Amino acid sequence: MIWIYRTLLAGLAIYLAFAAAVFFAQRKMIYFPPDTYAPPPAGFVEVQAADGTMGWHAPAQDTRPTVMVFHGNASAIDSNMHIFNDLMSAGYGVWSVGYPGYPGNAGTPTQSNLTGAAQSQYDTLREMGVEKIVFYGTSLGSAVATQLAAEKSPDLLILDAPFNNMADMTRMHMRWLPTRIMLKDKWYSDRAIAELNVPLIWLHGTEDQVIPAAQGQKLFDGYNGPKSAHILQGAHHSNTWFLGGRDITFSALSSL
């Protein structure tokens, strides 16, 4: 019987050691800042917000909306140029949100730091006289956008490949760990979205293997405000814009 207890204790020790390793390394498992990024292209200027973080801004023509774009966890401020170019060509303004700890901005990426930077950059955009503001969040950026929307109420919230909350996401890969307790950055989009009453557009690809559409569906189902869902056939995690997302976005923007 002694060997049974020893085996159980050894297994418990291994489990606790692995859980501890995940706990202390968890932010490195969530945030993957690229090493470099390109300088602002023509039409953009770097603008420093009150908190010191930097965003890219391209002004809108006349009174058209400005779209704040929130990139994903392994992207950077320059990672959505296809979206920026299309919006700018149509006369819409763009603000690419810069995250602390990502290329172009000092600091450490955490939920508090990312949402704080987004709030400061939003306030800067408002101080510049921009009245119509749309949030477009992709992947992790959908959580940043949703958190900010709960505070600032944009004219429209577009979530591209969102997830319900970080605990749900981590359970997909680590069901045997109490991730809801362990997580430092919980990203409760489901709680934040319950505080909203703005038009919501949800985009998700049927072939998304990073954040399955079921995650976005769960978040969408929990929202009681005006909303529309668009499941894009054949789209994976990063090409929804090309497979219907662009047309859906432009149709919504034209009504503002």
pLDDT reading at 130 higher than 60: yes
- Per-residue pLDDT tens for 184-230? 899 999 999 998 999 999 999 999 999 999 999 999 999 999 999 99
Q: Name the pTM for this structure.
A: 0.92
Predicted local confidence at residue 85, as pLDDT: 95
Does residue 39 or residue 101 have the better pLDDT?
Answer: 101
Mean of pLDDT values over 135-141: 98
- Per-residue pLDDT tens for 56-107? 999 999 999 999 999 999 998 888 999 999 999 999 999 999 999 999 999 9
| Position 235 confidence tier, pLDDT thresholds 50, 70, 90 | very high
CATH of the domain at 38: 3.40.50.1820
Could you tell me if residue 102 is inside a domain? Answer: yes
Could you tell me if residue 17 is inside a domain? Answer: no
What's the structural domain count of the chain?
Answer: 1
Own/partner pairs, 148-152, CB within 8 angstroms, 24+ separation: 148/115, 148/118, 148/119, 148/122, 149/192, 149/193, 149/196, 149/198, 150/192, 150/193, 150/195, 150/196, 151/119, 152/119, 152/122
Could you tell me if residue 7 is inside a domain? Answer: no
Q: Which domain holds residue 121?
A: 31-253
Could you tell me if residue 206 is inside a domain? Answer: yes
Could you tell me if residue 101 is inside a domain? Answer: yes
Does residue 211 or residue 171 have the better pLDDT?
Answer: 211
